Structure 1
Amino acid sequence: MAVTLARLASWMSWVSEALKAMADEFERQCGFPPGTNEVRSAEYDDQAAARMLAHVSFTSADLVTFYDSIDG
């Protein structure tokens, strides 16, 4: 199953919702506040690094697509 931008966007949304639910309960369960938890779109430098990885190694196309799209 290939990684697509649409599938990654859906995954980002799902993970972000799950992280929010976990963070909302974290302090009550653990006794201290959570740190920052987020999944966000890759920025230009992240995308450049992902593309460079693809050029210098035998990296899976799906992994490059992931790193080109997600920063976290």
Structure 2
Amino acid sequence: MYFVAEVNEKECAKYNCKQCVLFCPEPNCLNYKESDHTAWVWSDRCKGCEICVYVCSDLLKRHCIEMVMVKTGD
């Protein structure tokens, strides 16, 4: 089991800020959909560093991203 970021797209679309995408250290992990004005996570690439959560929740006070538990197949 491990944690990955998950974007609440409905909340994220309200802000259209793209800050989480800019700060994510993993290439092509956190992306932005211009058509929906929201960020999205490629969960296979997410390392669970929580930088996006820190930027969105702690710095910007928007609370659009949270970490969720992913179970690995046994």
Which bin holds the TM-score, normalised by the shorter protein? Answer: under 0.3
Higher relative contact order (CA 8 A, sep 6+): 2
Q: Which has the higher strand share?
A: 2
TM-score normalised by length of structure 1 = 0.26
TM-score normalised by length of structure 2 = 0.25
Q: Which has the higher helix share?
A: 1
